[in-house]
């Protein structure tokens, strides 16, 4: 389990090592074909900031070689905002007084139809809060069965499950699982996740092993930028990705770097990451792992997404509603976070085409399941 490996790394020592990187370390990393975690640390360090242009060029070349000039599209569907956790940064925190809903199969069907009218989406991300009584495996299985006729590729972002539960869902058409560790800082994790199942750091961390053991085809990872030192957090994530690739080499991987936005809980980020830093991180990750899917959601502004689309990103969401039933069933009032990119899917597609890239709506067929 990765929790054993993570115990070998000291958080403060890693932070110090990143901040001690020099120009020579950066140049050495840039000259290498295969980067070690140490090289990755050099490229995300402050010492690499003056090399953003060279990193961007290298990232663009590798991305085009591996993925072509393409951006794959997906759309999230929130099916419940019911949650038993109390993550201090989240609008769905159980202490937040708000209306809680869990869509019925009929409502999920109507959301599917509304999404299909928005654009030719084939990659659907089903999202829930974490409430095993309301959104347990039976509920998820039913939701997948409802969505399956509408979309070729189904991914879930839900509470961490047991390996046999992931396996069971793959029988109902589940192709991918996204789970954000939020932070790899074991000591401070509980500050942000004080109660509920999510307060169990190990259970969440080892969830990725359980996904791999269950044969989930694609695993999505991420840390929430704004909690702890982002450089240290993404270094731990890079180590985690390397570990997963070693153990579950048949699986595909994606990474996402969500920057925290104001939520209804009024939590203010501890750390602010600038656009330049987010770009630097994207380029460094591409150079570190040439094949990983790098995804950007509508948390980011259109200008940033248009630029990063040609420099390292490989998938994006569009037209997203972050509230359950937001596409048709309920008015937009229960959202988890506010989106920064309000463009319609057609506008996103037009902008991507205008920069010479192709939009990929379908990259998986359910006959592969």
Binding stretches for ligand SF4 (CB under 6 A)? 83, 85, 87, 90, 92-93, 129-130, 198
For residue 100, the minimal CB distance to ligand SF4 (Å) is 11
Nearer to ligand SF4, 198 or 240 (CB): 198
For residue 285, the minimal CB distance to ligand SF4 (Å) is 23
For residue 269, the minimal CB distance to ligand SF4 (Å) is 14
Nearer to ligand SF4, 173 or 325 (CB): 325
Long-range contacts made by residues 49-57, C-beta under 8 angstroms, separation at least 24?
Answer: 49/276, 49/280, 51/26, 52/276, 52/279, 52/280, 52/283, 54/30, 55/30, 55/280, 55/283, 55/284, 55/287, 56/279, 56/283, 56/311, 56/312
Nearer to ligand SF4, 181 or 306 (CB): 181
Nearer to ligand SF4, 219 or 348 (CB): 219
For residue 126, the minimal CB distance to ligand SF4 (Å) is 13
Long-range contacts made by residues 237-240, C-beta under 8 angstroms, separation at least 24?
Answer: 237/181, 237/184, 238/37, 238/40, 238/285, 238/288, 238/289, 239/5, 239/6, 239/9, 239/37, 240/2, 240/6, 240/181, 240/184, 240/208
Nearer to ligand SF4, 108 or 359 (CB): 108
For residue 84, the minimal CB distance to ligand SF4 (Å) is 8
Nearer to ligand SF4, 129 or 226 (CB): 129
For residue 112, the minimal CB distance to ligand SF4 (Å) is 22
For residue 322, the minimal CB distance to ligand SF4 (Å) is 10
CA distance readout (Å), 199 to 157, 186, 189, 268 = 17, 11, 8, 20
Nearer to ligand SF4, 91 or 173 (CB): 91
For residue 93, the minimal CB distance to ligand SF4 (Å) is 5
Give CA–CA dist 348/16, Å, rounded. 40
Nearer to ligand SF4, 130 or 349 (CB): 130
């Amino acid at each position: 389990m990765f929790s054993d490996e993570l115990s070998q790394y000291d958080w403060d020592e890693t932070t110090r090592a990143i901040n001690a990187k020099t120009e020579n370390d950066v140049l050495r990393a840039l000259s290498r074909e295969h980067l070690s975690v140490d090289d990755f640390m050099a490229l995300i360090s402050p010492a690499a900031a003056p090399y953003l242009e060279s990193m961007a060029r290298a990232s663009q070349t590798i991305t085009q070689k591996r993925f072509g000039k393409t951006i794959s599209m997906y759309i999230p569907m929130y099916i419940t905002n019911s949650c038993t956790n109390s993550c201090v940064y989240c609008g769905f925190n159980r202490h937040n007084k708000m209306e809680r809903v869990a869509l019925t199969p009929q409502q999920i069907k109507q959301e599917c139809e509304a999404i299909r009218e928005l654009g030719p989406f084939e990659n659907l991300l089903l999202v829930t809060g974490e409430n095993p009584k309301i959104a347990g495996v039976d509920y998820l299985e039913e939701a997948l069965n409802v969505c399956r006729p509408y979309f070729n590729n189904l991914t879930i972002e839900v509470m961490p499950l047991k390996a046999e539960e992931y396996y069971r869902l793959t029988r109902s058409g589940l192709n991918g699982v996204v789970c954000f560790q939020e932070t790899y800082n074991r000591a401070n994790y509980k500050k942000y996740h004080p109660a509920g199942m999510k307060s169990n750091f190990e259970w969440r961390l080892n969830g990725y092993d359980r996904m791999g053991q269950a044969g989930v085809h694609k695993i999505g990872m991420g840390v929430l930028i704004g909690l702890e030192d982002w450089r240290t957090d993404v270094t731990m994530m890079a180590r985690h990705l390397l570990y997963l690739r070693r153990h579950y080499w048949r699986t595909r991987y994606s990474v996402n770097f969500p920057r925290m936005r104001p939520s209804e809980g009024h939590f203010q980020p501890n750390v602010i990451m600038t656009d330049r830093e987010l770009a630097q991180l994207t380029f460094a990750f591409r150079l570190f792992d040439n094949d990983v899917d790098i995804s950007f959601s509508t948390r980011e502004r259109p200008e940033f997404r248009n630029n990063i689309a040609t420099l390292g990103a490989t998938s994006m969401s569009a037209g997203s509603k972050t509230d359950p039933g937001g596409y048709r069933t309920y008015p937009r009032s229960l959202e988890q976070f506010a989106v920064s990119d309000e463009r319609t899917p057609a506008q996103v597609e037009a902008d991507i085409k205008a920069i010479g890239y192709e939009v990929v709506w379908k990259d998986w067929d359910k006959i592969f399941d």
